[in-house]
């Protein structure tokens, strides 16, 4: 039986668990077997906790307190999932991708993990991430590099790269992740999975020091939109540990996706009115894919909000974020922190309060422009990334549109601009380039408009049918010589 279970969708697996056609232990063994088969090729889940998972499964099967969330939206009934290695799981090695924490084993789980486990999610292991989640390619000094299953010579993106690969290959059915400048969206684009950056406050961030920042959020990844909606239902809701959280919606995201409403007017832009660089293959594939919303009966128009000096705004806010998180570590353990993090943190230490004030004013102005934009349009569609997946040995693409990057964040505009705007966004597959590399779109919705966003993504996914290609066996390949 376990030879085929990993191919099921999460929604199907949960339905069968609820009917007791399967047990959580059946799925754990199927997951463990699949992990053993594919991990040598991809390195997505470097830390496993199989005995802990089996113990949790037995508690669920016994009922009682382990099933107190049964019947709630997002009940997973014993479904195996992965947790990003930035996020604590009690009793499980959690390194944050850093040599500083290489042997760290937390005594208590992060609130989002507690919520996932309370709702019947079973943690199989920790997914690989760049050091402290900083970077668009998943590698670190503790566990090494995670590889793209479509071509193992290429990156899976970052920073939720291990999570994306774990669902793309069928190691687990759902993956937890985080997103600051595209960390749930870029790995989705590179691996042909789906990942949503929810509105700030939708999912608890629990124990972070940046509790009052809206830049970084937690969220789900999956193989298809219905599975994604299910896991967002699992995660969402008020949390007393996070002052920005709010109650879950009265109508679940799964219910919204089951009865999708088509967006009436869709704005599309491949390059933010010519202000963003991207490779020619991505421009061609995404340009054609965007127009396919017309096949759903939508009015599709070329239009983009005015993003203003969004790169400078994002970096000013990001640098301050790094100061809050890393200033003290830099003083004490600088030699164990990678240069990109040192660079970001020191930029923050050097910038003035006036510069931060300017960034906050610009962020507020962009939010107001987005609100006005969404009074006309129901959905905004962009490329999911400016390039397809690049060499796994690089920390960032060497060039975008033929021009060298100024820094490792230089290719993040398409995602980081949406972060600054305060809108939720989802990555959905839209095709492949001439080298067979996945290409995706980024669908952007109104603030707190995740239900409508997921509905649009579901309709588009059903039109293309690319989700049916997953899960896949890892494939060896070579790095394309040109873009």
For 200-247, give the DSSP string.
TTSB--TT-S-TT-SS-EEEEEESSHHHHHHHHHHHBS--TT-TT--P
Q: Is the pLDDT of residue 58 over 80?
A: yes
Identify whether 84 is a catalytic site residue.
yes
Question: Could you give the domains of the chain?
Answer: 2-469 (3.90.1300.10)
Phi, psi of 441 (to 5 degrees): -105, 155
475: alpha, beta or left? (left if phi > 0; alpha if psi -120 to 50)? beta
Q: Is the dihedral of CA 43, 45, 51, 54 positive or negative?
A: negative
Q: Is the pLDDT of residue 160 over 60?
A: yes
pLDDT one-digit tens code per residue, 369-378: 999 999 999 9
| Band of residue 406 on the pLDDT scale cut at 50, 70, 90 | confident
Q: Is the pLDDT of residue 427 over 90?
A: yes
Q: Is the pLDDT of residue 483 over 60?
A: no
273: alpha, beta or left? (left if phi > 0; alpha if psi -120 to 50)? left
**Structure-token match 């109508």, residue found:** 251
Rounded average pLDDT over 208-228? 97
**Structure-token match 């997973």, residue found:** 76
| Band of residue 439 on the pLDDT scale cut at 50, 70, 90 | very high
The pLDDT of residue 388 is 97
DSSP alpha helices (H): ranges in 259-338? Answer: 280-291, 310-333
The beta strand positions in 66-180, using DSSP E, are 79-84, 121-127, 139-140, 144-145, 147-148, 151-155, 174-179
Catalytic residue from among 31, 82, 98, 183: 183
Structure tokens at 438: 């996945």
The pLDDT of residue 222 is 99
pLDDT one-digit tens code per residue, 166-215: 999 999 999 999 999 999 999 999 999 999 999 999 999 999 999 999 99
* 189/427 Cα distance (integer angstroms): 6
The pLDDT of residue 410 is 87
pTM of the model: 0.98
Residue 452, C-beta contacts closer than 8 angstroms, at least 6 positions apart: 256, 261, 263, 378, 379, 445, 446
The pLDDT of residue 2 is 57
The pLDDT of residue 1 is 52
Rounded average pLDDT over 397-411? 91
Catalytic residue from among 84, 119, 126, 338: 84
**Structure-token match 């969220």, residue found:** 219
* 405/403 Cα distance (integer angstroms): 7
Mean pLDDT of the chain: 97
Rounded average pLDDT over 299-322? 97
Rounded average pLDDT over 243-270? 98
Rounded average pLDDT over 209-223? 96
Structure tokens at 183: 């960390």
pLDDT one-digit tens code per residue, 108-138: 999 999 999 999 999 999 999 999 999 999 9
Coil, strand or helix: which one is 480? coil
Structure tokens at 249: 């919606």
The beta strand positions in 51-170, using DSSP E, are 79-84, 121-127, 139-140, 144-145, 147-148, 151-155
The beta strand positions in 106-171, using DSSP E, are 121-127, 139-140, 144-145, 147-148, 151-155
* 191/437 Cα distance (integer angstroms): 8
What percent of the chain lies above the pLDDT cut of 70?
A: 99
Catalytic residue from among 159, 166, 213, 216: 159
Name the burial class of residue 345, with classes exposed (0-12), middle (13-18) and buried (19+) by CB atoms within 10 angstroms of its CB: buried
Identify whether 127 is a catalytic site residue.
no
């Amino acid at each position: 039986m376990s030879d085929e279970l990993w191919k099921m969708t999460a929604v199907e697996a949960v339905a069968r668990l609820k009917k007791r056609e399967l047990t959580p232990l059946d799925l754990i063994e199927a997951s463990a077997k699949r992990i053993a088969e594919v991990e040598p090729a991809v390195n997505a889940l470097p830390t496993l906790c199989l005995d802990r998972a089996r113990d949790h499964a037995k508690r669920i099967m016994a009922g009682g307190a382990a099933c107190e969330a049964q019947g709630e939206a997002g009940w997973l009934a014993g479904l195996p999932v992965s947790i990003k290695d930035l996020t604590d799981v009690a009793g499980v090695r959690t390194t944050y991708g850093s040599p500083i924490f290489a042997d760290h084993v937390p005594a208590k789980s992060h609130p989002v993990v507690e919520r996932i486990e309370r709702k019947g999610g079973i943690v199989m292991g920790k997914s690989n991430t760049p050091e402290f989640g900083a970077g668009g390619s998943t590698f670190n000094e503790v566990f090494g590099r995670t590889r793209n299953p479509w071509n193992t010579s290429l990156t899976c993106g970052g920073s939720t790269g291990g999570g994306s690969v774990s669902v793309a290959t069928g190691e687990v059915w759902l993956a937890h992740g985080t997103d600051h400048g595209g960390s749930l969206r870029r790995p989705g684009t590179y691996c042909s999975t789906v990942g949503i950056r929810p509105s700030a406050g939708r999912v608890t961030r629990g124990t972070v020091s940046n509790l009052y920042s809206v830049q970084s959020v937690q969220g789900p990844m999956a193989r298809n939109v219905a599975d994604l909606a299910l896991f967002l239902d699992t995660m969402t809701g008020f949390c007393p540990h996070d002052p920005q959280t709010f109650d879950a919606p009265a109508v679940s995201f799964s219910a919204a996706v089951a009865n999708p409403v088509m967006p009436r007017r869709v704005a599309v832009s491949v390059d933010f009115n010519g202000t963003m660089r991207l490779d020619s293959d991505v421009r061609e594939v995404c340009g054609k894919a965007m127009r396919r919303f017309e096949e759903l009966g939508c009015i599709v128009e070329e239009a983009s909000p005015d993003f203003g000096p969004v790169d400078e705004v994002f970096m000013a806010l990001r640098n301050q974020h790094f100061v809050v998180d890393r200033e003290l570590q830099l003083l004490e353990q600088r030699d164990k922190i990678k240069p990109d993090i040192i660079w970001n943190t020191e930029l923050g230490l050097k910038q003035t309060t006036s510069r931060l004030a300017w960034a906050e004013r610009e962020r507020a102005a962009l939010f107001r422009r987005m609100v006005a934009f969404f009074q006309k349009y129901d959905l905004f569609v962009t490329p999911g990334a400016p390039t397809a997946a690049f060499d796994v040995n690089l920390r960032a693409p060497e060039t975008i549109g033929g021009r060298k990057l100024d820094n490792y964040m230089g290719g993040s505009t398409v995602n980081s601009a949406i972060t600054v705007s305060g809108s939720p966004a989802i990555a959905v597959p839209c095709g492949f380039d001439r080298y067979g590399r996945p290409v995706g779109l980024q669908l952007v919705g109104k603030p707190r408009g995740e239900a409508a966003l997921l509905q649009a993504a579901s309709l588009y996914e059903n039109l293309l049918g690319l989700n049916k290609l997953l899960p896949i066996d890892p494939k060896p390949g070579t790095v394309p010589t040109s873009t």
